[in-house]
Chain A
Amino acid sequence: MLSLKQRRSLNTLLMGVLAWGVALAIFFPIFWMLLTSFKTEIDAFATPPQLFFSPTLENYTLVNERSDYLHFAWNSVVVSFGSTIIGMMLAVPAAYSMAFFETKRTKGTLLWMLSTKMLPPVGVLVPIYLIFKDTGLLDTKTGLVIIYTLINLPIMIWMAYTYFKEIPKEVLEAARMDGSTLFQEIWRVLLPMSKGGLAATVLLSLILSWNEAFWSLNLTASEAAPLTALIASYSSPEGLFWAKLSAVSTLACAPILIFGWISQKQLVRGLSFGAVK
Chain B
Amino acid sequence: MKTTTLNAGPASSAAEPKQDSRQGGKRKTSRINRFMVSPSVLVLALWMVIPLSMTIYFSVIRYNLLYPGDNEFVGLENFQFFVTDFGFMAGMSNTLLLVGAVLLITVVLGVLISLLVNQAFWGRGIVRILLISPFFIMPTVNALIWKNLLLHPVSGVFAAIWKFFGATPIDWFSEFPLFSIIMIVSWQWLPFAILILMTALQSLDQEQQEAARLDGAGPWALFFHLTLPHLARPIAVVVMIETIFLLSIFAEIFTTTGGGPGYETTNLAYLIYSQALLQFDVGLASAGGLIAVVLANIAAFFLVRLIGKSLTEKQ
Q: Mark B242-286, 1 if CB is under 8 A from A, else 0.
A: 001001101100111000000000001100110011000010011
Among A36, A45, A127, A245, point to the contact of B54 (Cβ < 8 A): A127
Bound: A128/B47 CA distance, A: 10
Q: How many Å from the CB of A52 to the closest CB on chain B?
A: 14
Number of B interface residues in the complex (CB < 8 A): 113
Closest A-chain residue to B256, C-beta based? A235
Binding stretch for chain B, among A53-61, A63-71, A193-201, A252-260: A252-260
Known A12-B119, A12-B120, A93-B37; contact A23-B130, beta-carbon cutoff 8 A = yes
B138-A211 in contact (CB<8A): yes
B289-A126 in contact (CB<8A): yes
Among A150, A182, A232, point to the contact of B251 (Cβ < 8 A): A232
A26-B134 in contact (CB<8A): yes
Among A90, A150, A253, point to the contact of B141 (Cβ < 8 A): A253
Chain A interface residue count: which class?
A: 35 or more
B129-A245 in contact (CB<8A): no
Known A98-B37, A123-B55; contact A211-B139, beta-carbon cutoff 8 A = yes
Among A24, A149, A214, point to the contact of B130 (Cβ < 8 A): A24
Bound: A227/B256 CA distance, A: 17
Total contacts A to B, CB within 8 angstroms?
322
Q: How many Å from the CB of A48 to the closest CB on chain B?
A: 4
B286-A268 in contact (CB<8A): no
B200-A276 in contact (CB<8A): yes
Known A127-B54, A213-B250; contact A153-B303, beta-carbon cutoff 8 A = no
Known A118-B297, A125-B273; contact A231-B141, beta-carbon cutoff 8 A = yes
A114-B29 in contact (CB<8A): no
Q: Does A165 contact B (CB under 8 A)?
A: yes
Bound: A256/B233 CA distance, A: 29
Bound: A118/B244 CA distance, A: 6
B311-A107 in contact (CB<8A): yes
Bound: A85/B289 CA distance, A: 31
Q: How many Å from the CB of B79 to the closest CB on chain A?
A: 14
Q: How many Å from the CB of A112 to the closest CB on chain B?
A: 8
B144-A234 in contact (CB<8A): yes
Q: Does B131 contact A (CB under 8 A)?
A: yes
A29-B187 in contact (CB<8A): yes
Interface centre among B126, B233, B296 (most CB of A within 10 A): B296
B296-A113 in contact (CB<8A): no
Known A109-B41, A217-B250; contact A97-B34, beta-carbon cutoff 8 A = yes
B297-A274 in contact (CB<8A): no
Among B138, B200, B290, B303, point to the contact of A256 (Cβ < 8 A): B138
Q: Does A49 contact B (CB under 8 A)?
A: yes
What are 22 pairs between A and B in contact, CB < 8 Å? A15-B116, A19-B124, A27-B133, A29-B134, A44-B149, A47-B160, A48-B160, A90-B43, A91-B40, A93-B37, A94-B39, A101-B29, A114-B303, A114-B307, A122-B248, A122-B250, A126-B282, A130-B54, A210-B138, A231-B144, A246-B145, A273-B307
